[in-house]
Structure 1
Amino acid sequence: MDLPRQFVIRERHHRIHNPFDDAKLATLGRALRLRPGTEILDLACGSGEMLCTWSRDHGVTGTGVDISTAFLAAARSRAAELGVEDTVTLVHADAAGYVAPAPVDVAACIGATWIGDGLPGTLALLERSLRPGGLLLVGEPFWRADPPDQEAVEGCHARSRDAYHDLPGLVESFGEQGYDLVEMVLADTDSWDRYVAAQWLAVRTWLDDNPDDELAPELRAELDTAPLNHVRYQRRYLGWGVFALMRR
């Protein structure tokens, strides 16, 4: 059980596996007014940057669950670097269907709502681990502007316009599902650039080192198109943010 190699190659140098930078992650932690001892479950935690830095900065404890052995190894290294090995637990498991053994204060899935086959299913999954009155954190894309055609839609890694809401529609959907939106921090073009451009460099250096690997043709083709797709489509039309929700 592991993440496909393509994902690991692209993001092997990432500490944050979504369009956030260190400053935005820190802003989110401060905005949530986290108290020492707050217990967090982070499904699809990647390299554990959120749990590790929030444990250092706010005294939270938490469990991160991810399917990637490579990303979990990076998370364990980061926890050791920041001195939070005793407050952060990292579990190698498929986050889809994972439920905490005891209710937590904050249940999070930051940018991986496919674990619940979409946003509603992921929120329902997170609820199963959340104490009454607790906080849900979910990272989700939205349309910043209406894509003009199917080429633009696919350039944003979507199959159809219906794959995402616009931001008002996304916020409205939270209410329709019975939640109050109580905080949000949104990616911007700079944080998007840092996320995707780091992938291009990681892919290029991997290709230079592994020209005969079976994945080389696929990743070469990806690198031929990804930068232009980003500046032509994704940077213009696709937004992303982390949204804090409480059950009404």
Structure 2
Amino acid sequence: MDRQQISRLAHADHPIAAPLDDDSVRRLLARGIPGGGARVLDLGCGGGEWLLRALAEHPRLAAEGVDLSAGALDRAREAAARLGVGDRLTLHRQDAAGFTAPHRFDLVLCVGSTHAFGGLSATLAAARAHLAPGGRVLVGDGFWDGEPTAEAVEMLGDLDDLPTTLERVVAGGWTPVGGHLSTRQELDDYEWSWTGTLAAWALDHPTDPDRAQALETATAHRDGWLRVYRDVLGFLCLVLRPTDT
């Protein structure tokens, strides 16, 4: 199995591919969408779950998503058709970092996909280029909620602590107007779902040639979570507006 297939299986029971529960997603979207007729862009949309929820909540909203995974975009189209919102969803299969559009957006989303741009600061710079006057950005990324080991840094990258993360966002010309810190329950629920759903798939498919790989991946992920980063990794979502407009 390739990485995309593993991710699809692991997120089957947790379609928001980040440590957020449904209420947190709803509140962040309510804070980020400036009006019912807004235009929303998700950079690294995956299966389009954020966009689908926004479209279902706002009948005049138009949404666009960008992702490299053809399978994820197909799932987004199918889900949009089932929900009756397909006519208001446009999907682009391409690198989010190179995406351009002839119009600007009232909300630009990038939650859990900042790696596609090389980090949080570069993600915000890319989002700014797509933002309409008065628009907002909803971004989600990890931070160190404790002193990481060298193994944790090697596994997850060179993150900052929470105060430093906010300082750098503000220094980049942004003002937070909302946000959410994932709770311990949200963080643990996400990891249990990721590892458990992938392992359950393997157990339910005893003759599948990918069974062993799925079990090994679930076990390795669970071990890394519990032994390496559970006590030091946090997740932050921010609703931002440009400080100078």
Q: TM-score range by the shorter chain?
A: 0.7 to 0.9
Distance 2:75 2:193 in 1: 16
Unaligned runs of 5+ in 1: none
Paired AA for residue 84 in structure 1: V
How far off is 1:152 after superposition? 4.5
In the TM superposition, 1:13-162 aligns within 5 A as 13-32=13-32, 34-59=34-59, 60-147=61-148, 149-154=149-154, 157-159=155-157
Provide structure 2 residue ranges, at least 5 long, that are not aligned to the other structure: none
Match among 167, 170, 175 for residue 172 of structure 1: 167
From the superposition, tell whether residues 128 and 3 of structure 1 become closer, same or farther in structure 2 (CA, over 3 Å). farther
1:86 counterpart SS class? helix
User: C-alpha separation between the residues in 1 aligned to 2:139 and 2:129?
Assistant: 15
Per-residue Cα deviation, 1:7-66 (whole angstroms, up to 9, x for no partner): 333334432111112111001122335311110110111121211111221332210111
Inter-CA distance 14–91: structure 2 relative to 1 (3 Å threshold): farther
Mapped to 1, the partners of 2:62 and 2:74 lie a distance apart of 19
Matched residue of 1:184: which SS?
strand
| TM-score of the superposed pair, with normalisation by structure 1 | 0.86
The residue identity in structure 2 corresponding to 1:5 is Q
User: What is the number of residues matched between the two proteins?
Assistant: 240
Equivalent residue of 1:192, what SS? Answer: helix
Contact 1:67 1:93 in 2 (8 A): yes
Give the whole-Å Cα distance in 2 for the aligned partners of 1:236 and 1:137: 25
What residue identity is the alignment partner of 1:158?
L
Is the contact between residue 33 and residue 107 of structure 2 (CA under 8 Å) also seen in structure 1? no
- Name the CA shift for 1:210/1:66 in 2 (closer, same or farther; >3 Å): farther
Secondary structure of 1:128's partner?
helix
Quote the offset at 1:165 in angstroms: 1.1
Equivalent in the alignment of 2:11? 11
- Residue 176 (structure 2) aligned to one of 155, 175, 181: 181
Q: Do the aligned partners of 1:15 and 1:48 also contact (CA within 8 Å) in 2?
A: no
Distance 1:211 1:196 in 2: 26
Deviation of 1:113 (Å): 0.8
> Are residue 204 (structure 1) and residue 199 (structure 2) matched?
yes
Q: TM-score, normalised by structure 2?
A: 0.87
Counterparts of 1:165 and 1:152, CA distance in 2: 13
CA RMSD of aligned residues (A): 2.3
Paired-residue identity, %: 32
Secondary structure in structure 1 of the residue aligned to 2:16 = coil
Partner amino acid for 2:141?
E
Q: State the AA in 2 paired with 1:72.
A: L
What is the CA–CA distance in structure 1 between the aligned matches of 2:49 and 2:6, rounded to whole Å? 21
Q: Deviations over 1:103-140 (max 9, x none)?
A: 11111211111121111221121122112332122111
Q: Residue type matched to 2:170 in 1?
A: G
Amino acid in the other structure paired with 1:34: P
